[in-house]
Every structure is written in C-alpha cells, then in structure tokens.
Amino acid sequence: DAKTTQPPSMDCAEGRAANLPCNHSTISGNEYVYWYRQIHSQGPQYIIHGLKNNETNEMASLIITEDRKSSTLILPHATLRDTAVYYCIVRVFLSRSGGSNYKLTFGKGTLLTVNP
Amino acid sequence: DAGITQSPRHKVTETGTPVTLRCHQTENHRYMYWYRQDPGHGLRLIHYSYGVKDTDKGEVSDGYSVSRSKTEDFLLTLESATSSQTSVYFCAISEPSGGWETQYFGPGTRLLVL
C-alpha cells in the first residue's frame, strides 16, 4: 500500500487559507488520493479526491504535483468548525472482489486547529 | 450523511459475550464496510461486502464475523468479545462520485468490553 506522510499538527487563523501538505512518494499510477476529515467523535467526512489533475469542490481544493508524489489540501477560508483531524489517503483496491471495491487506510493525519 | 445509521451507538459488555452491531443504509448501495478506530492505529478495515451474501475479510478480521442478508443491513458480530475489541466501530458505504466510488461513513458505535 502506498504510504502517506503528513505533519502531526498545524494552526491556522480564522478566515485565512489553510494549506495541508501530504507526501505520497510511492503512489502508483492508478491510485487516487483522497482527503477526509474527522471532527472529534464523529465519523470521517469525505472532502475531495483526485488522480493527477487539480480538483475543486464546495469544501476545498486539491493540488497534486506533476510527479504525483505530493499533494496539498486547501481550505480557502478556514472557520472554527474546520478544526479537525485531516487524513490524506491513497485508495487501495480490494482486487478479490473486482469492480471498484476498495479500502481506505487511514494514518494519523494532521490535527488542524483554527484559531479565532 | 448518505443515509447511514448505526446501532447501538454505545454499548458496554462483558468479556466472553457475543455482540452484534448493525449498520443500516437507505440508499441501496452495493458496497459496505466495517472499520475500527483505535488510538495510534487510525481506522482499520475489518470486513467488507460487495453484495448480498458476498463478504470478505479485511486486515483485522480475527474475532469478527459479518452477515449481509439484505442490501440495507450489514451486521458485525463479535463472537466472544475481548477487551482488545474495545474500540469505535464505523460502518461505511460506497457511492458513485465523479465516475468513481467514494466511501461515506456512519456516526460510529462506541464499544467497551469489560
């Protein structure tokens, strides 16, 4: 499985952009990068995913380097409610079942604290 | 929230007793998963299902069994609970998103085995 490396913690001021880095130097050509977050005691929440192009949705933007060895999640205007643990994940297919069945391997993630 | 509910949300049980956790979904998703979350380990896959009566083991399946007799329910059973199975259990489903499947998680079940 491709391994991801994230800083254990980051701080961000409310209203400013939060840029969360992730290294995934062993990623394979067909593996997607997913970002989830987990607010204390809740289930992980999907944020965004990408393969090689930059992606944007209503929650965040995902910037993937050209060599695909790293990515950055950008929360453009962080709020206090964005305080959470953010996980960068490389999706691994569960090949026995075929189709698009896969597992997500969550590491320790980055604790983002948004300060007033 | 992708229509996922888990029951019970909290449970305390004793070592050696069987425990069944239920994951229920309302949107007819094919793929369902059970993960556990422990400090220092992140989330780890226990079992998964790719259809009714079609299940397979994940990376930490010892001591657990699952059943899926209908699309909407995925049951996780601890055959004889041990203290090492004290954990938070999350169910997930896969839903198509932008041409690929994206997993969405339920609210979790906190299990304490005494």
Residues in chain B whose Cβ is within 8 Å of chain A: 31, 33, 37, 40, 42-45, 48, 50, 54, 56, 58-59, 90, 94, 97-98, 100-108
Taking the CA atoms of A28, A33, A39 and A45 in sequence, report the sign of the dihedral they define: negative
The structure tokens 């999640």 sit at A73
Tokens of A50: 């990408």
Mean pLDDT, all residues of chain A: 89
Tokens of A58: 């209503």
pLDDT, tens digit, 9 for 90 and up, residues B22-50: 999 998 998 899 999 998 778 899 999 98
Closest alpha carbon within chain A to B33: A103
Exposed/middle/buried for A15, CB within 10 Å: 0-12, 13-18, 19+? exposed
Instruction: Count CB-CB contacts under 10 A for residue B114.
Output: 10
Q: Are B108 and A44 in contact (CB under 8 A)?
A: no
Predicted confidence at residue B97, as pLDDT, reads: 64
Predicted confidence at residue A100, as pLDDT, reads: 54
Predicted confidence at residue A3, as pLDDT, reads: 84
Mean pLDDT computed over B88-112: 86
pLDDT, tens digit, 9 for 90 and up, residues A64-95: 999 999 999 999 999 999 999 999 998 766 65
Q: Name the band, by pLDDT with cuts 50, 70 and 90, for residue A30.
A: confident
Predicted confidence at residue A11, as pLDDT, reads: 97
CA pair distance A100, B56, nearest whole angstrom: 14
Predicted confidence at residue B98, as pLDDT, reads: 59
Backbone angles phi, psi at B96, to 5 degrees: -60, 135
CA pair distance A107, A104, nearest whole angstrom: 10
- Give the residue from A4, A2, A51 showing the smallest Cα distance to A26: A2
